[in-house]
Amino acid sequence: MTQLKKRSLIESQTRGLLVYCDDYLARLFSQKQNKSSGIWTQSLLMYALNNKIINNNDYYEAVIELVLRRFNYTSINAIILFYLFEKEGFVHSPKVLFLISVLGRSDDVESNVKVACEFIFFVWNSPCPLLIKRNILGTVFEVLKYNDNKNQKVANASMRLRSNNSKYHKQLAQAIQDWRDGLLIVPDIQEIMSI
């Protein structure tokens, strides 16, 4: 941590200010050394959204920008993923692929699977063509499989999607099987994860 950052954190505490910093270690330092609370950009955005200072779309755009700029500790959900997918015209754009890749970078298996399945359900209920739906499912599964030696994420996602009794149950089950058989067109996983 730089001396300037340390001085800023100490100064904020002596003035009784809330520390605003995206650097988790700096907030932790401030909390331990100065007993002052800290927030980061996404929590500030959530506060603005909950207090109707910004609307949902402004929040989604800001969170997408944080993720694209690689801000640490920025979480996404299926709504934000689908918002971007729809905004990009239902295509595998670099932005969409990067947001999907976040699911493969986190160790939180349950959260990754939940977000992935909700996103796939949103895609399946969208007006985009079935081929694109199938390819998105394949891309999400490839990302979930990345760095998961036990394939726990894919197994959990498959089980959730197959147990769904929606009108798309058969399409989803077939798409999952086709992905396993290597029949879906998906971008190269190494390329996705290196974005």
What are the extents of the domains in the chain? 107-195
The three-point CA angle 184-177-76 to 5° equals 70
- Cα dihedral sign, 59-62-64-70: negative
Give the model's pLDDT for residue 183: 85
| Tens digit of each residue's pLDDT, the chain (195 residues) | 555 545 554 555 555 566 666 666 766 776 676 666 767 788 888 888 999 999 999 999 999 999 998 887 788 999 999 999 999 999 989 999 999 988 877 777 788 888 999 999 999 999 999 999 999 999 998 888 876 766 677 778 888 777 766 677 788 888 888 888 888 878 777 777 776
pLDDT of residue 49: 93
pLDDT at 8: 55
pLDDT of res. 127? 92
The pLDDT, as a whole number, for residue 51 is 94
Distances from the Cα of 190 to the Cαs of 72, 78, 134, in angstroms? 21, 23, 20
What was the pLDDT predicted at 54? 94
Q: For strand 38-39 and strand 19-20, is the pairing parallel, antiparallel, or unpaired?
A: parallel
pTM of the model: 0.79
What pLDDT does residue 146 have? 78
